[in-house]
């Protein structure tokens, strides 16, 4: 399931919440590492949205133990509702043999890289996107922005990688970088992530709730919607309607 255009993923550890986001999300990111009985949830899932299965290890900001982590993710990939899996770049480097096995289950692979303390320089950031692209169908890179310059480097890296024909997702985490979640699609980012408002789990710093982010993306992606937000000659601001819908 390579993204066709941009896809907004609603991140949750509870698949029963899927109906709450059908009107705004294109796909569900199922955080297995923070879920209760994840395989049972998958076996009972009858939602309309397809899934990205993520079983993030403790070293990468998640809660899954290393022992059996990939085996559990592989089991998830056998379910028809799962169309993509997320595997860390470091994991792919050390266990590259697992990638073909996942593809044998007819799923695409997101190769992700996370830097929770800073954003690398431009050359390094570009190289990370390149390395992720070598292993997976989609390269997802999330770094922590300490300045707007950091956020700008991320957007530039997304733009450059997209120009080279790569399928990428780029996010600058943290408050300073939160706006990149809304504008990154303009630079070529193919995937966005947002939690449900009712979800108390923190998946990444600086996240924006799904309905708010969907509305922001729609505004920036549509010139008419953006212009409707601008003050009119009488000083009033027009109201915007409409959010990102499922395809």
Query: What residues are annotated to the active site?
Result: 114, 140
3-state SS track over the chain: CCCCCCEEEEEECCHHHHHHHCCCCCEEEEEHHHCCCHHHHHHHCCCCCCEEEECCEHHHCCCECCCCHHHHHHHHHCCCCEEEEEEEHHHHHHCCCHHHHHHHCCCEEEEEEEECCCCCCHHHHHHHHHHHHHHCCEEEEEEECCCHHHHHHHHHHHHHHHHCCCCEEEEEECCCCCCHHHHHHHHCCCEEEEECCCCCCCCCCCCCCHHHHHHHHHHHHCHHHHHHHCECCCCCECCCCCCCCCC
Asked if 179 contacts 192 with a C-beta cutoff of 8 angstroms, the reply is no
Asked if 9 contacts 191 with a C-beta cutoff of 8 angstroms, the reply is yes
Q: What is the C-alpha separation between 100 and 77, in angstroms, rounded?
A: 12
């Amino acid at each position: 399931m390579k993204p066709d255009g941009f896809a907004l993923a609603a991140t949750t550890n509870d698949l029963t919440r899927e109906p709450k986001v059908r009107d705004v999300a294109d796909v569900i990111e199922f955080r297995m590492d923070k879920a209760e009985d994840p395989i049972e949830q998958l076996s009972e899932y009858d939602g309309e949205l397809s899934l990205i299965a993520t079983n993030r290890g403790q070293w990468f900001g998640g809660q899954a133990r290393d022992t059996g982590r990939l085996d559990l993710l592989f089991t998830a990939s056998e379910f028809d509702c799962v169309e993509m899996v997320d595997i860390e770049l470091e994991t792919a480097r050390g266990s590259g043999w697992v990638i073909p096995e996942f593809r044998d289950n007819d799923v695409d692979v997101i190769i992700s890289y996370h830097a929770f303390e800073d954003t690398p320089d431009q050359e390094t950031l570009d190289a990370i996107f390149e390395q992720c692209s070598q292993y997976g169908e989609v390269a997802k890179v999330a770094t922590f922005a300490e300045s707007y310059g950091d956020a700008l480097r991320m957007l530039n890296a997304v733009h450059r990688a997209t120009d080279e024909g790569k399928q990428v997702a780029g996010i600058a985490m943290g408050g300073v970088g939160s706006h990149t979640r809304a504008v990154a699609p303009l630079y070529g980012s193919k995937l966005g992530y947002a939690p449900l408002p009712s979800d108390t789990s923190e998946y990444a710093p600086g996240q924006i709730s799904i309905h708010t982010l969907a509305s922001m993306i729609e505004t920036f992606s549509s010139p008419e919607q953006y212009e409707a937000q601008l003050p009119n000659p009488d000083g009033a601001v027009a109201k915007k309607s409409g959010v990102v819908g499922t395809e």
